[in-house]
Structure 1
């Protein structure tokens, strides 16, 4: 990965393509959005694999970020993220606590921030 400064922020030069990053969301993704996106999508991908291994493949998983708490007094750092999973499929709701536990345990992004950002996970099944 390589990042170069531009007029409005930085351009990330990544294997899949370029990523515009800026503190002004009119010119690119804000860094905190990328952080939260990494937490959400990593969790969703792990959850998908866990459900498949438990023979309950999801037809769809939507992830809503219900809350982001930032601390203005400490450089606007992210302190809390609430991820809400809306899962479509024939999923045994009684197994969801274990599925959430395995998702958290195996998501590298959540594990990377576990001591600094509170991650709340909720779900509903359709």
Structure 2
């Protein structure tokens, strides 16, 4: 991956498209936003794959991420809380949490930061009827 200097940040030309990174969100994605999105996106993708393998019928998976940053340490990310809202059929909360634990162990982004950023996870399940 190559990044190129722009007036207000950096640009990367990737297979999917151009990514612009800037400390000012008027000019691009802020670095902390990309980190949180990477962690949530990786975790959600792995979780979804596990649910599919378990034949858990879901209609939707929404992840809400809350971030705690430390302004005295260069706005370091201290904690990320992920709330997984799972909408589906015949949902077993215990099974969902077990699958989330497995996804945590298999998500490269979570594993990369687990010793420096506290990652909290919670599930809200919404049972749909047919």
Structure 2 partner of 1:117: 117
Structure 1 partner of 2:59: 59
Structure 1 partner of 2:21: 21
Secondary structure of 1:59's partner?
strand
Structure 2 partner of 1:50: 50
How much does 1:54 deviate? 1.0
TM-score (norm 2): 0.92
Aligned length: 125
Deviates more, 1:95-104 or 1:19-28: 95-104
Structure 1 unaligned spans of 5+: none
Q: Work out whether residues 86 and 124 of structure 1, in 8 Å CA contact, stay in contact via their aligned partners in 2.
A: yes
Structure 1 partner of 2:33: 33
Q: Work out whether residues 48 and 57 of structure 1, in 8 Å CA contact, stay in contact via their aligned partners in 2.
A: no
Structure 2 partner of 1:73: 72
How much does 1:97 deviate? 2.2
Alpha-carbon separation, structure 2, partners of 1:94 and 1:116: 28
Alpha-carbon separation, structure 1, partners of 2:14 and 2:2: 7
